[in-house]
Structure 1
């Protein structure tokens, strides 16, 4: 059993479900166009001057490393170098931290005018920046300065794991002993949706040579960790979790409640699906994807917009990002082989992009699912 990394074959799950290549290609192109170059009510990519652009979180009216790095990943997958370079230059110009304990990291939030809202990073941004930059290097070749993509990617990853060592002030983004990514650098708990073993496998090939063993261990540690974080019956995980996988219930006064299956957590099953497509190293991923799809399609068929504890208990709250749920449940079909895999994909196909102020997060997960299920979320090597 080998994944796309070895075979070079990327499943077109939409085609497997009966859609034609022409309509799939059109749907992917249209989704990208509307998000990046659509109407004012649709898009959240905004060009600035001759050579920069930013992605706005339309729900919070700021610019986040999450969205900027997501935008770069989308652009490298779709061979949109101009938009990629515009986003990277904006991020490197306004988000890069020149000093302090976060030196060489990126401020996780900026205002749309480029002024920083924070002086610290969010690790999911750095790992997506690094992966997108490596892919850009492999697809387009390195340029000069900040467009020496692979050099920039290696520098980011080096900071992520070596801060705190002698000569490297600050705090690392990974726990150095457990090889597990942190939620933010100054806490010792994690966010299951940050765990991207399929990225770490590639970092183990392309990062600084002295760091490659770390990234190989990180890939193994994250796959093992997700077994602990995802519930054995529902497949759900919490937004934030401790290193033993249990939902993180502390720090509510600082971060709010995050011990439930809610916004951040939706990304976890999408990541599991992509890891299975790329590497197929963990049969548990099939089982977990089947569990999650069964939970939604059998136990909660009428409540996909619900909020749940990881054991499946439905709460009174409604999901802030209901379109994202539909998208990631479909992306789970990259791993799932149960009776609901096709149903989840077709439900997603029939779901339009979200409109309104909260469209940013939902529609990014929508676009990622569209890429992954059409065979267009690829390893560029």
Structure 2
């Protein structure tokens, strides 16, 4: 059983049926959300004596909120500062049953932190879990959903990530939509990030995309990302293999989420960092960094702040791209974007090398092979170097590129 302050499951199902015709409809996340989240880099570090600059605390989130502004991330669109797991006391308040932020690490509560984030022109995000406990063992929302939704609104939360540990997967189809409805009913606009399909996928179940679109602004589709190139490529493969079922359901207000950007940590080289950024742009993925912004090297910061790649990710059409083909171990990923000229889309095209032979690999395609058939052709520019204008190409033109092993070349084909 699960519910709102011990409401039985049958009654909760009735409530959901009564509200079944009303979508989340919060007007948020019309473009993929951009921001910063603590989990991948800082996990559940709670010892502030040993790790004063890394522990999950008010200090950590104030500092990274300040860095988003001072280091220029806010200028290119990053706006959410999101606390992930391990921010809570182990027990709810004895008298009110409300969630309690850890008293040592968040001694002034969360409103003060929210005020600081908002004063920077940013937005405040918070993690919780649909189950009896969060993944790290702190109190979950089960049996307290209405109370917790109202608490988040009172704490001036702008973004809620709801995980699914310690929960019955069979209850998620009703419980996640109900919590989204409760968030919406507070009157405070809160982006709602669901983890429901990630838990379904572990059981080999197909996500209920129509319900996800109706009730969630974004949703995790699969496994957590780790700080490694192998993990990035496994996620890319999952999205490629399942794109026909996933891609049609992404769009303004509701996005597939392949998980955090790990650029700036330990696991990716410079070129592998470009690869993750490019494919996340093609996938219309949320761009949620998880790194130590004080330690990001200038060349990685340049990738994270590349306005032309971000423009692809944030394209107003909101069409998720797909893997088009593979040729000689080079994958081609393609996304329709603006401008649309006389009914013909422009495109962002990423060439991803799965080769490991140690040398840049030259390859050639006709534009027709890439399904680029605009009669007037396309102007082509390198999205990682927009000064590199490659000229005009038409359907029968040969387009040649040379890609390093485990690297990416990323181009914009602007329709004429």
Do Structure 1 and Structure 2 share a fold, with TM-score over 0.5? no
Q: Which has the higher contact order (CA 8 A, sep 6+)?
A: 1
CA radius of gyration, larger in = 2
TM-score by structure 1 length?
A: 0.28
TM-score by structure 2 length?
A: 0.27
